[in-house]
Amino acid sequence: MRHFLKAMVLGITIATTLPSTAVEAAEPVSAGRPQKLQVPSQVPGDSWRTVPTQTITAGGVNFAYRELGKSNGGTPVVFLVHLAAVLDNWDPRIMDGIAAKHHVIAFDNRGVGASSGSPSNSIEQMADDALSFIKAMGLTQVDLLGFSMGGMIAQEMVLKEPQLVRKMVLAGTGPAGGEGISAVAGVANYDLMRGLLSGQDPKQFLFFTRTPNGIEAGQAFLARLNERTANRDKEISIVAYIAQLQALSAWGQKRPADLSVIKQPVLVVNGEADRMVPTTNSYDLVRRLPNSRLIIYPDAGHGGIFQFHADFVRSTLEFLAR
């Protein structure tokens, strides 16, 4: 991991030189304290910790994916992942929590993790890949849950093919041209160095506040990510990481889209102190999306949905059930 972090720091240094409407607070919860969620029983062995990784071919790419809760039926929830992430970066409590009621699917982007092909260097291309994956899976309508970069991909998808999307959950993300998005590489570079110098996982700095509650929540989240011990995914390559940084830089400089044409219900979620994609972007999304609502978690950063995973699962299930 330390070797990979050093390579990522080098990659960021290289990449940064390349061109590139109702609002509510979260219901009171113990700020930052690790939360516990009672998940209804699923099929034995059917959990994010043990579910097998499968592959499907679409557009000449072999996409690696995992799915849970298929027997629940209904509209599947497709998860769209964040910068540098692979399948093992999804919080098991969120995946199991949503899969208790819904068919959930997550996949590796092209050229990332166990998926084949050359990595995409634009959000638009990642959206096209996601649409190809969904169609190859034989799905005619889906709900989208996008975190960070995944939320940007979700916006492009619904603008490209609105009939395919029923509802969206956009967490820790922002619109094209949003405040601070083009500077994500600089924030990541700084926190990667902090991680290297302190011997900690950079996500402790990138996703969580430096308050006692944030630090404790970050440690609990990182422990959950290691619960899967067999058949883990491949880490992202430095080439793919640089491509994603280029995509984010371009997205942050892109002309804002007309989000008023998105009529689907949207749940926007973030922490009150997001340093990667500043929280002001969440408020901007809700102002511009005509059928949206907002949850902001206190004493939480970019990874607010992981810090308050139990409340997030409850709120998401209620939103999807409406």
Q: For the chain, which residues make up each domain, given as ranges?
A: 2-321
pLDDT-based confidence at residue 229 (cuts at 50, 70, 90): very high
Residue 320 pLDDT > 70: yes
Average pLDDT across the chain, whole number: 90
Residue 121 pLDDT > 70: yes
Residue 26 pLDDT > 50: no
* For residues 175-198, average pLDDT: 93
For helices 123-136 and 238-253, give the axis angle rounded to 10 degrees: 110
Report the C-alpha gap between 94 and 97 in whole angstroms.
5
CATH number of 2-321: 3.40.50.1820
* For residues 5-33, average pLDDT: 42
* For residues 271-295, average pLDDT: 98
Which pTM does this prediction carry? 0.88
- At 145, the amino acid letter reads L
Which residues 6+ apart lie within 8 Å of 271 measured at CB?
172, 209, 279, 296, 297, 299, 300, 301, 302, 303, 304, 307
